[in-house]
Chain A
Amino acid sequence: MTVRHLLRLLSLVAALGLWQLLTAFDVSVWLRFEQFPTVVDVAREFGERVGSEAYWQDLTDSLSRIVTGFVLAAVAGVAAGTAIARSRLAADLLGPVLEVLRPIPAIALVPVAILLFPSNEQGIVFITFTAAFFPVMVSTRHAVRALTPVWEEAVRTMGGGRWRVLGSVVLPGALPGILGGLSVGIGVSWICVISAEMISGEYGVGYRTWQDYTVVDYPGVLVGMVTIGALGWLTSTAVEVLGRRVTRWLPRTESRAEAPAPRRSPSWGRSLAGAADPGPLTSTKEA
């Protein structure tokens, strides 16, 4: 539409065109493009694979691995981060172990995963989990420590106990910070899912890509990479969109705020607090 949109489109088209030219003419000046598949080859291969069941099988395998590992990591990371930030005992008990494990890149745990888990599937999920756990845990810890004290004090002077403070102040208040960890976590998780699949997977996009490489199916490799990129973008965007939804309340600078669209009354505040409030544990007798 606008000139800028046109320019952006042009940039993509130019890149694809360059790729096509370099590969079609088998250019070999320092970089070697003789073996490299052309855009057309890749597109044709892609068209074929999308029609096959195996492609979607790989895709859902990889997705279910990252979703499982990531969700577990999000829950455990938020729980551990909150516990460490709020309780000295938890900080003393959990802190040292986690600090020792933290510098180890999750992908370096592949041998451990193979030793520990009876199936590859569980091993891959474990690695995904570890990858996302630390960013989530660390960001939660910081976010909880940085909470404005008066929020908690206000709830306590209303008679709110530990769990009420946790559900109504700590979690919603730390959420913007936690989301930073979740964003980083999903990215690292995806890297680790693909790497782990390449090393030890059976099925999955990473496995398939590596497999294609070993049988010299280069268009297949490129299709795998495109798929990996698309899924990575999808998962990150999902977290991003979710994050923006639940932090609508954050004050924004007036000058950059979007037009005053009719904002839906953010009932999330209540529903989130409600979800986090361990209803039966407190004395609330909700209708």
Chain B
Amino acid sequence: MTTPPETTTASTAPAPVLAPPRGTRLTLRDASIGRQGTPVLEGLALDIAPGEILTVVGPSGCGKSTLLRTLAGLLPPLAGEVDRDGIPITGPDAERALIFQDDALLPWRTLRANVELPLAIKGVGRRERRARAEGWLERVGLDGHGARLPHRVSGGQRQRVQLARALAGEPRAVLMDEPFGALDAQTRAGMQQLLAEVLRGTGATVVFVTHDVDEALFLGDRVALLGTGTGRVPHVLDVPRPRDRTAHDDPATVELRRTVLTSLGT
């Protein structure tokens, strides 16, 4: 629980020469982040290795969304450094996709047209991007719904479209803000499985915000606990691999969950 925030992953995965890792390294050094000059989190230090999945948990209002927006480049840090692969993040770009907590689909575009958007921005041809968008919709369980408008489908379906849209752009980092919040347990488990598979395939770095501790432990290589204590430096816990959904009563997992829950004050 007093694990130092970084260096734990610094030694992992020497970059292969021929196939460079798809993931981005995201680093915060002594960063203060917040909105309109008011810091929400101060002295933040985090190092997220390429291809790593970091899950973030913390009480409502502690700054999880603020952290993701800062990493996306939508919010400049108030102080300190926020880097990607050692280069300061100065604005948003296609390398870091953000799945928003609130509905961010363009309501005048059909679901498919929404998923096509990042591809259109990249200059993928019409036919190609249509096919790819259909493929992504199918993977999130929405095949056949491509022609519908966002407000004609359920909130959970919209969130899945957001996921499809983010992944369609083949970003090097995916920042997800409670993407499965509106899903039932069954669908949620399916989406987690899908996400785990897809992410393993792309090697993208993931920062995943959730309220669900089990989800955090299942998906994360590490779990960051925000807003606990007064120092405001996140506690970062390593989650040992390999693990699977069924290992809920595995002593190590039980211990981890207990640690997370106590430090969240529940």
Contacts and interface: CB of A to CB of B under 8 A. Distances in A.
B151 to A, nearest CB: 4
Contacts, number: 92
A168 B117 CA distance: 9
A9 interface: no
B98 A168 contact: no
Interface in A137-186: 150-151, 153-160, 164, 168-169, 172-173, 175
B82 interface: no
Instruction: Give the interface SS of chain B, mostly helix, strand, loop or mixed.
Output: loop
B97 A151 contact: no
A270 B113 contact: yes
B126 A287 contact: yes
A278 to B, nearest CB: 13
A154 B100 contact: yes
A89 B57 CA distance: 42
A54 B75 CA distance: 65
Contact of B100 (A150, A169, A249, A265): A150
A285 B125 contact: yes
B88 interface: no
Nearest to B148: A265
Contact of B106 (A157, A159, A172): A172
Interface residues of A, number: 30
A266 B149 contact: yes
Given A159-B121, A251-B151, 8 more contacts: A155-B121, A156-B91, A157-B74, A158-B118, A158-B169, A249-B151, A250-B107, A285-B123
Interface in B53-110: 72-74, 91-98, 100, 102-110
Interface of B: 72-74, 91-98, 100, 102-110, 113, 117-118, 120-123, 125-128, 147, 149, 151, 165, 169
A53 interface: no
23 contacts: A151-B104, A153-B74, A153-B100, A154-B104, A154-B106, A155-B121, A156-B74, A156-B91, A157-B73, A157-B97, A158-B117, A158-B121, A159-B94, A159-B121, A159-B122, A160-B117, A169-B106, A249-B151, A266-B149, A270-B113, A282-B121, A285-B123, A287-B128
B158 to A, nearest CB: 12
Contacts of B100: 150, 153-154
Contacts of B73: 157
Contacts of B102: 150
A243 interface: no
B108 A153 contact: no
B117 A155 contact: yes
Nearest to B93: A159
A2 interface: no
Contacts of A250: 107
Contacts of B107: 249-251
A283 interface: yes
A150 B113 contact: no
B121 A160 contact: yes
A80 B190 CA distance: 49
A159 B118 contact: yes
A157 B92 contact: yes
A283 B108 contact: no
Ranked 7 nearest A-B pairs via Cβ: A159-B94, A287-B125, A158-B118, A249-B108, A265-B147, A251-B151, A154-B104
Given A150-B100, A150-B102, A266-B149, A157 B108 contact: no
B169 A159 contact: yes
B194 to A, nearest CB: 21
